Chains A and B, each alone.
Chain A
């Protein structure tokens, strides 16, 4: 058993990695193979990658303009070779609007995640590490927000801030951080008394440094899973706000708003409302599948809820 050439797989899975990089790659490979064994999760990942791709090259993919339609000749046409998904009441190509709409969907979920996840992470780790009355107060506030119905609260926020996609994003972010705070706190509590934290403390690290450098990184993976699982809910809430006319305003091709405008023609030109709803369903299904797969692959401790 001398130095035969290792296959790439053996190199990745070796018990004695030669370098930190090799160990990390090995871990990533294991996680990936656990993830890839779940077919539905891979489908979910495919859907999300497709969404990213479509959003990135929307102008190249869209066969027509998403904003300018032919009001004279092309109103409410049925799906055909020129307009694959038909046209809406203003003669605009629905497929092109869907393609451009993917950018809005992506904008909403990325911004909500970027606003809500750090808030939750900060509140949760601070509460968990500080303990005492800081913990009590922060968690009480978290619980208060958690006890609210999300959509109704978002509705009230948007009513106050005024309709528009930016305000919808703020409203959704304001209502979605509490679960992240809960998770971050729970993770913090499990590690705060461990030996390595005591060691860092002995070396004189400030609480700030301990939380930022040694606790937060450990919360990230469970947070990513939770955020991914929440994405579908965020998309649905944003679409709901759009449907009620409180999210993206015309002529933006937001999928929820497109359903609202197609609602008037549902009995005769059903495709106007059907297509954007199908898009929402596919994308949020993709996030749910991906989130489930990630949870199983990353979270080796517990098997879900």
Chain B
């Protein structure tokens, strides 16, 4: 009898998990298909004729017609979409008109630069944002709380490209504290060999400390800017999570036990606030990938954002849409990852 109920319960649990996995797969698949449908639609309504872009405006009519058929533009839209999805899933985003490389190869080259920038930015944002948020929550209503709030509000309100220009003006041109635009000085162009594409890491692997110093001087300004944006978000969320935790009864119990305030705040409250914070950090990382489009343009940072804007200005639609798909995919992945992490870390949301 006992065994039977147990077995039934285990079966129920297994089918529940299966259901959760299935719905997860459906969500990923439909979201991704939706992304591709949008980029496909954009690629078709664009006023630039992709055929003419290849053969040129002076090509005779039969050449244009033949190319149109070769490229599959005579097919009905659903077939074109099918071919498009198939291509994208195989990593084929077409060829860039600007660089004449396959878009995928271009993106593979520039993407690590964006990742490195966003990663350093998130580290800066979390390292400063979490303590500031905790401080604001603990001293609620105090001057410190107000200051953190204003810092955050300005972060939400300032145009990042403008702040970037001013930062370049002050810290590079006037004070000379940091390096200028770009990722690494020309001096290192032939001596520095990238291994992973993450230059800071590569410099450490090569034990090239001069290059490391130069790369650090280049990355610190744009990464701090991005970090400021994630700080604004992270500190605000940390504050609200901490306020929530600090009003719980276990905090009263901990105080009654005579634990030190430091221990209560950092050991108990923050540890419980850490669960939703992980998802916040993942989302802010996704936000920084997006913010990098404007930041990279200002700092001439050779990443995906600059690649997209350069391609835009040259009407290179394959490259623009390829970049959009990659950023969109990472965005979707991070959204889902934060959701999964939340479920994994918070026992209350586990399937019973």
Chain B residue with Cβ nearest A161? B45
Report how far A156 CA is from B45 CA in the complex, Å.
Answer: 11
Encoded as 1 (CB less than 8 Å from any B CB) or 0, chain A from 152 to 184 comes to 110111011110000000000000000000000
Report how far A176 CA is from B324 CA in the complex, Å.
Answer: 17
Given contacts A152-B327, A156-B39, A232-B156, contact A240 B161 (CB under 8 A): yes
Q: Which residues of B sit under 8 angstroms from A152, Cβ to Cβ? A: 290, 293, 308, 323-324, 327-328
Q: Is the CB of A244 within 8 A of B169?
A: no
Q: Which of B27, B291, B327 has the most CB of A within 10 A?
A: B327
Report how far A280 CA is from B156 CA in the complex, Å.
Answer: 12
Given contacts A140-B30, A148-B35, contact A273 B165 (CB under 8 A): yes
Q: Which of B30, B158, B163 has the most CB of A within 10 A?
A: B158
Encoded as 1 (CB less than 8 Å from any B CB) or 0, chain A from 246 to 268 comes to 10000000001001000100110
> What secondary structure prevails in chain B residues at the interface with A?
helix
Contact of A259 among B35, B159, B169 (CB under 8 A): B159
Q: Which residues of B sit under 8 angstroms from A256, Cβ to Cβ? A: 159
A147 at the interface (CB under 8 A from B): yes
B113 at the interface (CB under 8 A from A): no
Q: Is the CB of A285 within 8 A of B153?
A: yes
Chain B residue with Cβ nearest A150? B290
B256 at the interface (CB under 8 A from A): no
Encoded as 1 (CB less than 8 Å from any B CB) or 0, chain A from 214 to 248 comes to 00000000000000000010001001100111100
> What secondary structure prevails in chain A residues at the interface with B?
helix
Chain B residue with Cβ nearest A304? B240
A288 at the interface (CB under 8 A from B): yes
A272-289 CB contacts (< 8 Å) to partner B? 273-274, 276-277, 280-281, 284-285, 287-289
Q: Which residues of B sit under 8 angstroms from A276, Cβ to Cβ? A: 162
Chain B residue with Cβ nearest A157? B42
B216 at the interface (CB under 8 A from A): no
Report how far A236 CA is from B158 CA in the complex, Å.
Answer: 8
Report how far A246 CA is from B309 CA in the complex, Å.
Answer: 10
B254 at the interface (CB under 8 A from A): no
B259-301 CB contacts (< 8 Å) to partner A? 286, 289-291, 293-294, 297-298
Q: Which residues of A sit under 8 angstroms from B331, Cβ to Cβ? A: 147-149
Q: Is the CB of A244 within 8 A of B47?
A: no
Q: Is the CB of A155 within 8 A of B42?
A: no
Q: Is the CB of A281 within 8 A of B161?
A: no
Q: Which residues of B sit under 8 angstroms from A245, Cβ to Cβ? A: 313
Q: Which residues of A sit under 8 angstroms from B308, Cβ to Cβ? A: 152, 155
Contact of A280 among B27, B162, B335 (CB under 8 A): B162
What are 28 residue pairs bridging A and B, where the CB atoms are less than 8 Å apart in the complex? A140-B30, A143-B31, A151-B293, A152-B293, A152-B323, A155-B293, A155-B308, A155-B309, A155-B324, A159-B317, A159-B320, A232-B157, A240-B160, A243-B294, A243-B297, A244-B309, A244-B312, A266-B165, A270-B169, A277-B163, A277-B166, A281-B162, A284-B156, A288-B157, A289-B153, A292-B153, A305-B236, A305-B237
Q: Using CB atoms and an 8 Å cutoff, list the residues of chain A in contact with chain B.
A: 140-141, 143-145, 147-153, 155-157, 159-162, 232, 236, 239-240, 243-246, 256, 259, 263, 266-267, 270, 273-274, 276-277, 280-281, 284-285, 287-289, 292, 304-305
Q: Sort A-B residue pairs by CB-CB distance and give the 6 closest, nearest first.
A: A277-B162, A144-B34, A285-B157, A284-B157, A149-B290, A160-B42
| Extra contacts besides A263-B298, A277-B163 (19): CB < 8 Å | A143-B31, A144-B31, A145-B34, A147-B331, A148-B331, A152-B328, A155-B293, A159-B312, A159-B320, A160-B46, A236-B160, A240-B293, A240-B294, A243-B159, A244-B312, A266-B168, A273-B162, A276-B162, A277-B166
